[in-house]
Amino acid sequence: MSLLSTYSTLDRLGPVVSTAEAAAALRRTTSSASRLLRGLEGAGSAHHVRAGLWVIGPNQPDPFTIAGELTRPHPAYVSFLSALNHHGMIDQIPREISVASLGRAQVIRTSLGTFSVHHLPPGLFGAWQETERGSVATPEKALFDLAYVSAVHSGRPRKVPELELPADFDRKAIDWWIERIESGRLATMTRLGIDQMLARATR
**Are 102 and 70 in a shared domain?**
yes
User: Does the pLDDT at position 156 exceed 80?
Assistant: no
Same structural domain, 177 and 127: yes
Based on the fold, state whether residues 52 and 90 are members of the same structural domain: no
C-alpha dist (Å) from residue 15 to 7, 25, 47, 123, 133: 11, 14, 10, 30, 12
Residues 82 and 181 both lie in one domain: yes
CB atoms within 10 A of CB 144: 29
Give, in order, the Cα–Cα distances in Å from 176 to each of 86, 106, 124.
Answer: 23, 27, 10
Domain that residue 181 falls in: 63-199
Return mean pLDDT, the chain: 93
Lowest mean pLDDT among 21-25, 60-64, 71-75, 124-128: 60-64
Average pLDDT over residues 161-178: 94
Asked if residue 191 and residue 105 are part of one domain, the reply reads yes
Pair 75, 32 in one domain: no
Q: Report in angstroms the alpha-carbon separations of 68 from 76, 79, 105, 115, 187.
A: 5, 12, 14, 11, 27
Question: By mean pLDDT, which of 34-38, 60-64, 104-108, 179-183 is the weakest?
Answer: 60-64
79/162 same-domain check: yes
Q: What is the pTM of this model?
A: 0.89
85, 139: one domain? yes
Q: How many domains does the chain have?
A: 2
Does one domain contain both 50 and 68?
no
